[in-house]
């Protein structure tokens, strides 16, 4: 039940943040995307002995997440660079 609440809230936030890139999306589309995003986030934060460095994992996760929400590549790259500089 808690995970469902978190996913619903995250789907609403995603709609607010990425809505301009997701024309025609329904609530179901946002929930479906959030299921994928939560898996990416989990995989990024659960490194193994052979995982890529943290900055590489973060950049890959952010790129994939923004791609799911149709964020243009140039904007994705700018946003990723801002975040990677902080790691």
pLDDT tens, residue by residue, 22-42: 999 999 999 999 999 999 999
Task: Kindly tell me the sign of the dihedral angle through the C-alpha atoms of 16, 7, 28, 61.
Answer: positive
User: Is the distance from CB of 62 to CB of 79 less than 8 angstroms?
Assistant: yes
What value does the mean pLDDT of the chain take? Answer: 94
Q: Which domain holds residue 26?
A: 2-85
Residue 7 to residue 55: CA distance in whole angstroms: 25
Domain total in the chain: 1
* Helices 73-85 and 54-68, packing angle to 10 deg: 150
Residue 33 to residue 67: CA distance in whole angstroms: 11
Q: What is the pTM of this model?
A: 0.89
Q: What is the DSSP letter of 51?
A: P
Looking at residues 7-21, what average pLDDT do you find?
95
pLDDT in tens, 38-64: 999 999 999 888 999 999 999 999 999
The reported pLDDT for the residue numbered 2 is: 86
The reported pLDDT for the residue numbered 3 is: 83
């Amino acid at each position: 039940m808690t995970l469902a609440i978190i996913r619903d809230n995250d789907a609403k936030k995603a709609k607010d943040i990425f809505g301009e890139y997701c024309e025609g999306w329904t609530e179901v589309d946002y929930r479906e995307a959030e299921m994928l995003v939560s898996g990416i986030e989990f995989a990024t934060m659960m490194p193994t002995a052979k995982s890529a460095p943290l900055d590489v994992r973060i950049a890959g996760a952010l790129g994939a997440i923004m791609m799911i929400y149709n964020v243009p590549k140039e904007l994705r790259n700018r946003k990723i660079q801002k975040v990677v500089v902080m790691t």
